[in-house]
Structure 1
């Protein structure tokens, strides 16, 4: 097995929204804001090469939205999925599976693109299966008013229309061996219903793709929960459970949205689970 970080592009989000009720005087110590109160955010995806499978976890925002849409997110840097894949010798056509942690636009938007004439929306990965789960798919296609702006039908419905959409089974508990994809999945419901956190066994380590359960290293304190979460009290319990597991088992936490910290480990302290070490992907994957 080989793992590759795939940067789908960087953007900015409001620091207050990213930290909910936590005062700026606290969260700005780890995530400094610019003059517009915006903080740096990455869309760091993960490519898993396992035998003849190439599994891409999340796909970023994509590029099919309007300039007005992207103007809200202050795009920065020049990374794209295509450039990142090419850096490792791959193209979109090589991808066999796209695993979506959840269907918010900044996690799945790159899965669908315009055709050459910009007349039809089509899968950006024509040879891949798109993986979600039935409960989250229903949640995303019948969105509540809180999340409606994050579940964009142009990102979601073409997956089903293409015939490439697949669902993994939901467990009786929140951790299972997913034999179809070859890694474990932790289900978290506080941010959005049935968000999936992949847990990959790699060279004696467990690499956890944290998605929006832990957006950045600055979110490690349990009360530091995003204003975007639909059920923040549930997030508190899920974060505490997962971070205790991570500290107990020395999991390596791959941070999708932290623009400056790629992988971290955590440890138990008197204040709760806190940062232990920071690594680059090269240090862990090579």
Structure 2
């Protein structure tokens, strides 16, 4: 197995929304805000080369929305999926599977693109199967009022219409040791229904793609929960379970949304689980 970070593009989000009830005087120490209270956010995806499979975990926002939409998110930097894939010697047509941790626009928007004449949409990875789970699919295609703005029809329904959509089995299990794609998955319901957190065995290490269970280093303390989470108390319980396990077993946590920290480990302290070490992807991969 080989792993490659795929930077799909950076953006900004409101710091207060990212930290919920935690005061700015506390969270700004780890996630400094600009004059508009916006903090730096990454969309760092992960490419898994495993035998004849080339699996892309999440795809970022994509580029098919209009300028008004992207204006809300203050895009910055020059990253793109195509540039990142090319850096490692790949292109979109090489991807065999797209695994989506969940279907919020900043995680799956890059999965679907305009067709050539911009009359409709098509898969951005024409040779790939697109993986979610039935529970989350139902949740996303019949969205609640709070999440409706994050589940965009144009990002989601074309996956099914293309015939490329597939479902991971056993989404009701809290953890499965090995999915159809060969890695373990922890199912978390606090942020959204049945978010999937991949666990990879890599060179004797457990690499965990954290998605929105742990957006940034600043979110390590248990009460530091995003205002976007639909069930914040459940997030706290899920984080407690996961972070204790991560500290016990020395997991390497791959941070999708932290623009300045790529991979971390955590440890037990008198204050609870806290940051232990910080690594770049080059250090580990």
TM-score normalised per structure 2: 0.99
Deviation at 1:178, TM superposition (A): 2.8
Q: How does 1:115-134 map to 2 (within 5 A)?
A: 115-134=115-134
CA distance in 1, matches of 2:207, 2:87: 22
Shift of 1:145: 0.1
Q: How many residues align?
A: 285
Question: Where in structure 1 do 4 or more consecutive aligned residues deviate above 4 Å?
Answer: none
1:87, 1:140 → 2: CA distance?
33
Distance 2:25 2:172 in 1: 41
Give 5+ residue unaligned stretches, structure 2: none
CA distance in 2, matches of 1:30, 1:5: 23
* Aligned-partner Cα distance in 2 for 1:233–1:189: 10
Under a length normalisation based on structure 1, what TM-score does the superposition of the two structures give? 0.99
Alignment root-mean-square deviation, CA: 0.7
Q: Which residue of 2 aligns with 1:176?
A: 176
Task: Report the CA distance between 1:184 and its aligned residue.
Answer: 0.2
- Post-superposition shift, 1:179? 4.0
Structure 2 residue aligned with 1:259: 259
2:86 corresponds to 1:74: no
Asked if the contact 2:171–2:194 (Cα under 8 Å) also holds between the matched residues in 1, the reply is: no
TM-superposed CA distance for 1:227, in Å, is: 0.1
Cα gap change, 1:172 to 1:18, in 2 (>3 Å): closer
In structure 2, the partner of 1:191 is 191
1:47 is paired with a residue whose SS is: strand
Q: Does 1:54 align with 2:54?
A: yes
CA distance in 1, matches of 2:263, 2:183: 18
Aligned to 2:20: 20
Which residue of 1 is the match for residue 200 of structure 2? Answer: 200
Which residue number corresponds to residue 96 of structure 2? 96
Give the unaligned 5+ runs of structure 1: none
The match for 1:30 is 30
Mapped contact 2:169–2:179 kept (Cα < 8 A): no
**Residue in 2 aligned with 1:235?**
235
- The structural deviation recorded for 1:170 is 2.0
Shift of 1:171: 4.8
The 1:216/1:119 distance shift into structure 2, 3 A limit, reads same
Does the CA-based 8 Å contact 2:211-2:255 persist in structure 1? Answer: yes
1:118 offset after TM fit, Å? 1.0
Separation of aligned partners in 2, 1:53 and 1:283: 24
